[in-house]
Amino acid sequence: MGWWEVSADTLAGSRFVVSPLAETTASLLALESGTAAHPGERRWLDAHRDTYLGYAKDHPVIPGLIRVSLARCWIPGVITVAPASSGESAFADELEQITGLSPESVAADLAVVGIRTASDDLPKKAAELLEWVWVNAVLPYWPTRRKIIEADIAARTTELGRGGWTQALSDMRPGMRWLGDGRLQINASDNPPREISGARLLFVPVTPGKGWVAWDEPHRYAVMYPCSGALADPGSRAAAPETLAALLGPARAAILMLLATPKTTTQLVALTGQRLGSVGRHLHILRSAGLLERRRVGRSVLYRRSPAADLLVRIQNEAS
């Protein structure tokens, strides 16, 4: 994929998008591969993979295409599209984009990685598989996953305001970074660059640890990337300095360290293992002390360290 050439207007008009279909595609890829990016994803896979494999055995066409494509480092276009809306769409509306794919476009996409098919019903079969994954393995978790996605978008937006695109895109997905001069590196491959100026550029977070790109040339290009949040590996977060834990108490210090980026109460409960009531009390105390800021994004209330808290953490880190 290499890099995309992006005009200033296209970049300025880019949007972060919540996509139930992208979340379902990412979940399908995880179920098919059986690999987990972190413990939270492992628990979800253990709960649903055997059932998925049973369904895939009875409906083998699309799972078979996915396996071959993944072996060739390719996500088939028949299971992923660039979102048509700049806001959140209903899953059923997004699924119509899959059923609306022409057999010719699907065949041309698969031919890129040497897969030849004469089947005309691949879009229908793909939609049926995606709907099964949505209903059985994603929808029961969607309220929590949406909050995680919204928190990631809020954090990325904050980083964008503070450090520009270089900072906002720096860790979005492996191999991706803002190169400057209108160049967005998508991965480390040596494929020719794509000129996407004038198109709609979308960034789509998903909670499974999967990332890929999709497009509807020349109108829309989308980058799907694994978001940070409650499903992330707890072992990867920074520990609270001993002096900060002594000052605030270990539980509140742990929460303050997590809130370097915005998070919901639900995420904090999952990350800390504390009870909901305990997390709520700690948030109230920290906010009353001027150490937290709070704002609503969509259906979620997000908490983040205040500038005073950032200074306090920095001082305590230096003192440790």
* Domain extent listing, the chain: 3-226, 237-319
Considering only residues 229 and 291, tell me which one the structure prediction assigns the higher pLDDT.
291
pLDDT greater than 50 at residue 230: no
- 130 with 98: CB under 8 angstroms? yes
- Residue 152's φ and ψ, nearest 5 degrees, are -65, -45
Name the pLDDT band for 13 (thresholds 50, 70, 90): confident
What is the per-residue pLDDT across 36-57, written as a single tens digit (0 to 9) for each? Answer: 877 778 889 999 999 999 999 9
Beta strands in the chain (DSSP E): 3-5, 15-16, 177-180, 183-185, 194-195, 200-206, 212-216, 220-226, 292-297, 300-305
CA distance 277 to 279: 5
- Residue 303's φ and ψ, nearest 5 degrees, are -115, 145
Of the candidates 228, 219, 227, 223, the residue with the CA atom closest to the CA atom of residue 3:
223
Looking at domain 237-319, its CATH class is mainly alpha
- Other Cβ atoms within 10 Å of 158 Cβ, number: 16
What is the token pair recorded at 113? 């990685």
What is the per-residue pLDDT across 82-132, written as a single tens digit (0 to 9) for each? Answer: 998 877 889 999 999 999 999 899 999 888 888 888 778 999 999 999 999
Q: In the prediction, which pLDDT does 235 show?
A: 43
Question: What's this model's pTM, rounded to 2 decimal places?
Answer: 0.77
Name the pLDDT band for 236 (thresholds 50, 70, 90): very low
CA distance 72 to 201: 26
SS3 of 106, please? Answer: helix
